[in-house]
Structure 1
Amino acid sequence: MGKDKRQRKFAVMKKMISLRDARIKDQEREKKEVPKWKRKKKEESSVVTREVPQYSSALFFKYNTQLGPPYYVLVDTNFVNFSIKHKIDLMQGMMDCLYAKCIPCITDCVMGEIERLGKKYTVALKIIKDSRFDRLPCMHKGIYADDCLVQRVTQHKCYIVATCDRDLKRRIRKVPGVPIMYISQQRYTIERMPDAFGAPRV
């Protein structure tokens, strides 16, 4: 067979339907009006904004410089139970740890949690109902004490959290400037506390 001698005409475009044609739907018309490469550039040029949480000016690295005596200590359920187990007086132990006046605070959620534990924990309930303890009313939904403490600490950075619960400690460590008190070697110790107030080093 011989070669096809017909030559392709130079610079011939394919026949295209005009954008004004009635056969094209409105959505397709919008797509055709803006080329793909222009659309990509527009998407890339849109600035990505990230919201970074603002931290208090009182924070110096991981320390909260605004904390000072008298210290307000948020007490967790297991902290009270472990204190009884290790025969440590709550008020005296806190004062020995911080060398200053301490005001233990009990939220409604923690109080409810100890009340629900039953007769075994009547001693803990008696200790908590002492007049030297501050009662903090809870306004949030739910009765889970850990969530209550974390929420209160994120809103107000004036508290020290006293707990022996690992999960709660892990959650509170994510909140900057909140010291954690716990029991180690038969006495109270504290982490993330400014050295200026004579806190023992762990």
Structure 2
Amino acid sequence: MPRAKRTKKFAAMKRMISLNDPRIKDKDREPPKKKKKEDPSEMKITEAPQSSSALFFQYNTQLGPPFHILIDTNFINFSIKNKMDVMQSMMDCLYAKCIPYVTDCVMGELEKLGSKYSLALKIVRDPKFERLPCLHKGTYADDCLVDRVTQHKCYIVATCDKDLKRRIRQIPGVPIMFLSQHRYTIERMPDAYGAPK
């Protein structure tokens, strides 16, 4: 009867004995790690991240008409699919003047998507949309938007991306605009601005 061929195991590591193993001689053993004893009289220092001066509890005082709205790539694409005018729909949602902002990362993302999204690019290049230059490396729009929103609390983020929404919900005082039932809806907007429920 022929013997079955044994396949060679790739990346098989040799097992090494740890330096704390009892089989190793005392002189070769690793010295035991000494824990630093805590001094009860010493002050304990804990660092808490500095909260933004724009926030009064959960109420963001920098938000107000005209609203500054940071737009994500998929928000524009979903607006086109639902045949919605971006500017008009934003004003219908917030009952005030809105200034849409587009970062260089979002523009780069739309350009990478190719000719299929040429209409979205045409809409974004409209002079009504303000351009925000990016000074960081890479063109990942989600990170760019999260960084901007953490630094400046004056923006509303318009996105339909679940992951980005989840990340922005962790930042206090930043409202999220998204599409639901063929209209724009806003989440976490202070009641003082008459935001639609």
Partner of 1:40: 37
Q: CA deviation at 1:58?
A: 3.1
Residues 170 and 41 of structure 1: CA distance in aligned 2, closer, same or farther (over 3 Å): closer
8 Å Cα contact 1:65-1:194 kept in structure 2: no
Aligned length: 163
Q: CA deviation at 1:187?
A: 0.3
Partner of 1:162: 158
Q: Which runs of 5+ in 2 are unaligned?
A: 1-33
Q: TM-score, normalised by structure 2?
A: 0.79
1:190 aligns with 2:182: no
Partner of 2:175: 179
Identity of aligned residues (%): 73
Residues 41 and 193 of structure 1: CA distance in aligned 2, closer, same or farther (over 3 Å): closer
* Runs of 4 or more consecutive aligned structure 1 residues displaced over 6 Å after TM superposition: none
Select the residue among 43, 46, 52 that pairs with 1:50: 46
Q: Which has the larger radius of gyration?
A: 1
Question: What are the superposed Cα offsets for residues 125-173 of structure 1, whole Å, 9 maximum, x if unpaired?
Answer: 0000000000000001111000000000011111000000000001011
1:121 aligns with 2:117: yes
CA RMSD of the aligned region, Å?
1.6
Task: Look up the SS of the partner of 1:78 in the other structure.
Answer: helix
Q: Which runs of 5+ in 1 are unaligned?
A: 1-35
Question: What are the superposed Cα offsets for residues 74-117 of structure 1, whole Å, 9 maximum, x if unpaired?
Answer: 00000000000111110001000000000000000000000000
Higher helix share: 1
Distance 2:91 2:162 in 1: 23
Distance 1:78 1:45 in 2: 56
Q: TM-score, normalised by structure 1?
A: 0.77
Distance 2:50 2:168 in 1: 17
8 Å Cα contact 2:54-2:153 kept in structure 1: no
Select the residue among 119, 132, 136 that pairs with 2:132: 136
Task: Look up the SS of the partner of 1:87 in the other structure.
Answer: coil
8 Å Cα contact 2:100-2:128 kept in structure 1: yes
